[in-house]
Chains A and B, each alone.
Chain A
Amino acid sequence: MTDDPLSATFAALADPTRRAILLRLAEGEATVTELAEPFAMSMPAISKHLKVLERAGLVSRSRDAQRRPVRLEAAALEAANAWTERYRQFWDASYDALDDVLATLYRDRKQTKEQS
């Protein structure tokens, strides 16, 4: 794992193929072959994506020599989720206030129009 897990997590999530892989793993573990199936992508390319996800701690691979299934590590994903959730709440607070301001502006504008 890296020294800066959150940056690694964001980097891992900033790719649509990796996000799709995580979505699939949320349903249950899968082999690399199973994960590669939906994509028109070579096995080395999929393995590259898995390496990024593994380095970010978002997936783990079991030591089962035959199958080596890939597993979702939900805790790391939840940490990133909590982080962005708090940032989103920061914007929610401003935009909720903007909503109230807009309601007042709209009402005032309407009244001005009705009076003229």
Chain B
Amino acid sequence: MTTQPSTENSTENSTHNKATLSFPSDTELVVSRDFAYPPELVWRASTTPEIVKQWWGIAPREQFVVCEIDLQVGGQWRYVFRDADGNEDGFSGRFVEIEAPHRTVQTEQYEQMPGTEHTVTVTYTDNGQGGTRLTTHHQYPSQEMRDGHVASGMEWGMNITFDHLDDVLPTL
């Protein structure tokens, strides 16, 4: 068993691996990223609310106001962001399958947009070198929803980024 994290893809703290995106069919989206840490650790960081609050989403951390994870089949998970103006972005769903520490299947919806519910499968695969491949597979009921998710995710991300930029620019 290795005592050092895998350094194959990372160099100290100066570089990060990149996420890769693929579209296996017109109703699917797969996001994949390698980490130099074992699956159990990535699992813990992804299923413990106090830790998820430290990294999920690109909004400033203080906007991450609700982070609940009831890690059992049928249990609900919920992440809510609220900005200074009171605008909220909520993501939630229920767990359908749980196979610690390698796989969860859950529903996910964007609360501000009814009808966005779809299925997400998250896998934490041991790469045999002390690292993990984290893969998030989104299965949508239609191409329209898949493309809408990519578009809105980008818009949400871009909006947050631009808002943040507005705060930062005057201080430069």
Contacts and interface: CB of A to CB of B under 8 A. Distances in A.
Q: Is the interface of B mostly helix, strand, loop or mixed?
A: mixed
A90 B45 contact: no
A61 to B, nearest CB: 24
Given A13-B23, A14-B23, A86-B157, A96 B41 contact: no
Which size bracket describes the interface of B in this complex?
35 or more
Nearest to A88: B21
A3 to B, nearest CB: 13
A88 B26 CA distance: 17
A91 B33 contact: yes
Q: Is the interface of A mostly helix, strand, loop or mixed?
A: helix
Given A6-B147, A10-B26, A86-B158, A105 B20 contact: no
A39 interface: no
A98 B55 contact: yes
B21 A105 contact: no
A63 B93 CA distance: 53
B21 A87 contact: yes
